[in-house]
A and B are shown apart, each in its own frame.
Chain A
Amino acid sequence: MSKKILLEHINVPGIETLEVYRSKGGYSSVEKALKTMTQDAIVEEVKKSGLRGRGGAGFPTGMKWSFLAKPEGVARYLVCNADESEPGTFKDRYLMEKIPHLLIEGMITSSFALGANTSYIYVRGEYFYIIKILEKAIDDAYKAGLLGKNILGTDYSLDLHVQAGAGAYICGEETALLESLEGKRGNPRIKPPFPAIAGLYACPTIVNNVETLAAVPSIVNNGGEWYAGIGIGRSTGTKLISASGHINKPGVYEIEMGITVEDFIYSDEYCGGIKNGKKLKAVVAGGSSVPILPADLILTTANGEKRLMSYESLADGGFASGTMLGSGGFIVMDETTSIVENLYTFARFYHHESCGQCSPCREGTAWMEKILHKIKDGHGTLADVDLLWEIQSKIEGNTICPLGDAAAWPVASAIRHFKAEFEDYVKNPSSISKVKHYHNMNNLATA
């Protein structure tokens, strides 16, 4: 049985209520932090834990926190990134829905550590039913004296509010999120300055993912060293993986970093193998933005070692033969899947979500969608495949924010690993129908 930290109590009936959550030791990190620890001591524990940002970039959280500017008399903010819009990712939603007080506890403890007296949770607008759940939980926390003035009788005060987004993937990028929270279009800012120096309302601000903040209570309660002892190497602790696609048991799983990819896909504790007894064709391991890998490379590295669920192992081999852990959005594709059509859905997504500030991203994502549309419908040429490669290479590294890279990588990796399939689409369009409508209509017809 693997280690559970975030989801330890997820199946306790009523765990979404303050009462039951507290009966399971909930909010003890607030007690401990506010009454027995200094702000610096908490930051130190988080550093020791090796916790890395769970929003996708994997930046060490304690280090980020230590960059926070603390000019005298200027407000500081903690903003939780609950925009969760990376295709394949649905773990933050799961946490907020099932155990909302864990995030609120993490926000209080973290806000105290950072010296923030007002904090916001920015939730994507499509999650309004989750916003309702969070608002209720926050209300209950206020009534219990865990939020508001003089929390638990100490001299620390914190107001916590939920902000609703309105449908824009780009608002998950932290500076776009801050623009949106200021009531503007979600156009990413040019960095530097980084939010830790000038963020919300130009004040020092830390932006962290839901899962990152939800890990803080356990670190404060048990110590950074304890957390660092879980997992493997520099991938400490546990990670929530959102598993979807052609598997027997889609869902959110908490894994200890370091289990094998093979175990994750095939064991009954996790995905339970490929649906309908089919063979594995490919996996997108960390949300739509990370390189797609064919079955052999996702299961074993180019060196022939078993690939592990960790930042380092998934990245082993660089982009030539590896990928990234990203947000942990694990999309599994069986042998019938058309890589070209799947890529088309990603290209359409990035085109739709580009904010339009940078020409390479705005124009490039539009071109990539168009070309893939043409190829998937059987009207492409070999020159189109080359052009696609050319375009993605010109976007990467030439934009204000990483959305440009995120749009380029799936295209590059699909061509790198599945070039023959693209060529098939071009040279032999009549073969396309075989893969095109493979969906088992019976699955949809039965309740």
Chain B
Amino acid sequence: MSEIKFDDNSLALVQSIIKRYPEGKQKSALLPLLHLAQAEFDGWLSVPAMDYVASLLSIKPIEVYEVASFYSMFNLKPVGKCLIEVCRTSSCWLRGANEIVDHIGNKLGIKPGETTADGKFTLKTVECLGSCGTAPMLQIGDKFHEDLTFDKVDSLLDEWSNKTEHSKYLDVNTFRKN
């Protein structure tokens, strides 16, 4: 478990993000900051992590909880090192998304919503990710893996079983520092 405190680099980014909004409207920075917190603190938002974000923005913790619980990209429980999100809405379903989900589930021995016993993988099914023309698809961190085949899925699973870092949607360099 990492300590719940951003390093200097992240804190500088926090200040630069807050400056994007008018005086007194710093609450607008809440979503970007929650993303940053999730990326920095093990891929999920613990209560201390959310309280920390509240303190950075001078807002009440409840204002953070109610937002964090609304959006599907925020994990309120720990997830595996590699969070696999498979789209199974219409266009992906038409091109075999259910079979991809089953294939991954069988390989990892888990069902959608579950994490492997070794904490490596979490399998999640999600709704349309805007990749319908390259279906079936899945997302890991900020990467889209498209036109999936069983082979492609297998090599992704291999690749990720050897990694030690968490899958992340963003890092401190995603946003411009203005």
Question: A250 near B134 (CB under 8 angstroms)?
Answer: yes
Task: Say whether B109 faces chain A, with CB atoms less than 8 Å apart.
Answer: no
Q: Inside 8 A of B29's CB, which chain A residues have their CB?
A: 183
Question: A445 near B150 (CB under 8 angstroms)?
Answer: yes
CB contact between B27 and one of A142, A183, A251, A342 (< 8 Å): that residue: A183
Question: A443 near B73 (CB under 8 angstroms)?
Answer: no
Q: Inside 8 A of A353's CB, which chain B residues have their CB?
A: 127
CB contact between B35 and one of A125, A136, A345 (< 8 Å): that residue: A125
Label chain A's interface by main secondary structure.
Answer: mixed
Task: Say whether B34 faces chain A, with CB atoms less than 8 Å apart.
Answer: yes
Q: How many residues of B contact A (CB 8 A)?
A: 59
Question: A125 near B132 (CB under 8 angstroms)?
Answer: no
| CA distance in complex: A124, B6 (Å) | 24
Mark contacts of B74-116 with chain A using CB atoms, 8 A cut-off: 1 yes-contact digit, 0 otherwise.
1000000000000011110111101110010000000000000
Q: Inside 8 A of B176's CB, which chain A residues have their CB?
A: 135-136, 138-139
11 more CB-based (< 8 A) A-B contacts, given A89-B132, A346-B89:
A93-B130, A118-B22, A135-B176, A139-B176, A166-B71, A166-B73, A168-B70, A349-B128, A439-B98, A439-B99, A441-B96
Question: B127 near A444 (CB under 8 angstroms)?
Answer: no
| CA distance in complex: A447, B156 (Å) | 14
Question: B34 near A166 (CB under 8 angstroms)?
Answer: yes
Q: Inside 8 A of A345's CB, which chain B residues have their CB?
A: 88-90, 93
Mark contacts of A405-443 with chain B using CB atoms, 8 A cut-off: 1 yes-contact digit, 0 otherwise.
000000000000000000000000000000000011101
CB contact between B127 and one of A139, A352, A447 (< 8 Å): that residue: A352
B positions within 8 Å CB-CB of A = 20, 22, 25, 27-32, 34-35, 57, 59, 63, 66-67, 70-74, 88-91, 93-96, 98-100, 103, 126-136, 139, 142-144, 148-152, 169-170, 174-176, 178
Given the interface contacts A125-B169, A443-B96, A446-B149, does A90 sit within 8 Å of B132 by beta carbon?
A: yes
Q: Inside 8 A of A396's CB, which chain B residues have their CB?
A: none
Task: Say whether A39 faces chain B, with CB atoms less than 8 Å apart.
Answer: no
Question: B73 near A125 (CB under 8 angstroms)?
Answer: yes
Q: Inside 8 A of B174's CB, which chain A residues have their CB?
A: 128, 131-132, 135
Q: Inside 8 A of B95's CB, which chain A residues have their CB?
A: 245-246, 439, 443
Q: Inside 8 A of B34's CB, which chain A residues have their CB?
A: 166
Given the interface contacts A87-B128, A284-B90, does A182 sit within 8 Å of B22 by beta carbon?
A: no
Interface residues of A in 147-166 (CB under 8 A from B): 159, 161-166
Q: What's the least CB distance linking A382 to chain B, in Å?
A: 25
Given the interface contacts A163-B31, A345-B93, does A444 sit within 8 Å of B148 by beta carbon?
A: yes
Question: A167 near B73 (CB under 8 angstroms)?
Answer: yes
Question: B25 near A182 (CB under 8 angstroms)?
Answer: yes
Task: Say whether A180 faces chain B, with CB atoms less than 8 Å apart.
Answer: yes
Question: A183 near B31 (CB under 8 angstroms)?
Answer: yes
Q: Inside 8 A of A341's CB, which chain B residues have their CB?
A: 93
Q: Inside 8 A of B93's CB, which chain A residues have their CB?
A: 341-342, 345
| CA distance in complex: A425, B177 (Å) | 56
Question: B71 near A165 (CB under 8 angstroms)?
Answer: yes
Question: A244 near B135 (CB under 8 angstroms)?
Answer: yes
The segment from A9-17, A59-67, A312-320, A329-337 found at the interface with B is A329-337
Question: B130 near A90 (CB under 8 angstroms)?
Answer: yes
Mark contacts of A67-97 with chain B using CB atoms, 8 A cut-off: 1 yes-contact digit, 0 otherwise.
0000000010000000011111110110000
